[in-house]
Amino acid sequence: MRDPVDAVFSALADPSRRFVVETLATRGSATPTELAAGLPVTRQAVAKHLAALRSAGLVEASRTGRETRYALTPAPLASAVDWIEEVGAAWDERLDALRRLVEPGDKTPRSRK
């Protein structure tokens, strides 16, 4: 099974998909035709982008008659943000340790363990 965070990053690697996510976050919901109006691609291309976003769990579809509307499902984005924060925190710790080594101050030699 594919890692959900990997699926989110893969889906968001495409600028058209990021546009779709931003648009849905702003508008609440939209049809593929409405989304295609803001992109230099066909409605069919938008439908493929929506399928990729849906596969990653980022959008959900609801059908009313002949119209399908898509809405953002933010939970997978939250998982990706959590992962970014974890990685960022680890780097912050490393950079703080490096800063303590190179900043002026107490220059007493530290023993190596």
Residues in the chain: 113
User: How confident is the model at residue 99, as a pLDDT?
Assistant: 79
Instruction: Reply yes or no on whether the pLDDT at 15 is more than 90.
Output: yes
Q: What is the pLDDT of residues 20-58, one digit of tens each?
A: 999 999 999 999 999 999 889 899 999 999 999 999 999
| High-pLDDT (> 70) share of the chain, % | 88
Contact 90, 42 (CB under 8 A): no
Higher pLDDT pick, 74 / 107? 74
Report CA 48 to chain centroid distance, whole Å: 18
The reported pTM is 0.71
Residue 107 DSSP one-character state: -
Q: How far apart are the first and last CA of the chain?
A: 41
Rounded Cα distance, 60 and 41, in Å? 21
Domain 1-103 sits in CATH at 1.10.10.10
